[in-house]
Amino acid sequence: MPNETSDEQIPKPFNPWKRRRARRLALQALYQWKMADTEVSILEKQFEEDTSHKKVDEAYFSVLVRGVIFNVDALDALFEPFLDRKLSQLGAVEISVLRMVAFEMRDRLDVPYKTVIDEGVELARSFGAEDSFKYINGVADKMADGLRKLEKQHQPG
């Protein structure tokens, strides 16, 4: 008997490299949004026209950008208690990275917390101020203590 499930009905597994690129582009879009207050639809259109988007998880890019922009105050509240300075004293890249990390920690439970932290650290290492990745790592780990407490408790060794 032939399989009645078409290829269109089977969800394709996500590609981690395309997600990584989506995060990189989302960081750039969020930086632009923070610096120029660009509307979400304009950001998405600009990045859609970017030729490098072909190897990007476009849906995840939109989820990240929209998720951060539409929840910015709630996301800031998740990590502000762990800052050693005022939010306004952080660089735009670091703020954008922390917002993405907070969003993924809170809303993307399908992404392991270690992956969220690792990706945030890599973004800070690539785009942030010198050694900002260490700061991002510390704040993200403290966020995970609250947002992913059960997941952290069940991690081996």
pLDDT in tens, 46-66: 887 775 557 888 899 999 999
Q: What is the pLDDT of residue 123?
A: 98
Structure tokens at 47: 């990045």
Confidence at 6, pLDDT banded by 50, 70, 90: very low
CATH class of segment(s) 16-146:
mainly alpha
Q: What is the pLDDT of residue 9?
A: 54
What is the per-residue burial (b if ≥16 Cβ within 10 Å, else e) of 100-132? bbbbbbbbbeeeebeebbebbbbbbbebbeeeb
Rounded CA gap, 60 and 18, in Å? 9
Cα dist from 96 to 63, 64, 130, whole Å: 15, 11, 16
Q: Is the pLDDT score of 4 beyond 60?
A: no
DSSP letter at 130 equals T
Q: What is the pLDDT of residue 73?
A: 97
Rounded CA gap, 1 and 83, in Å? 60
Q: Is the pLDDT score of 140 beyond 90?
A: yes
Q: What is the pLDDT of residue 1?
A: 45
Q: Is the pLDDT score of 67 beyond 70?
A: yes
Rounded CA gap, 47 and 64, in Å? 13
Q: What is the pLDDT of residue 96?
A: 97
Report percent pLDDT > 70 for the chain.
Answer: 87
Taking residues 76-99, what's their average pLDDT?
Answer: 97
Rounded CA gap, 119 and 132, in Å? 13
Rounded CA gap, 152 and 147, in Å? 10
Answer whether 75's CB lies under 8 Å from 105's CB.
no
Taking residues 20-47, what's their average pLDDT?
Answer: 89
Element (H, E) at 152: helix 149-153
Its pTM stands at 0.87
Scanning the chain, the segments in alpha helix (DSSP H) are: 16-36, 40-49, 58-69, 72-79, 92-107, 113-127, 132-147, 149-153
Confidence at 2, pLDDT banded by 50, 70, 90: very low
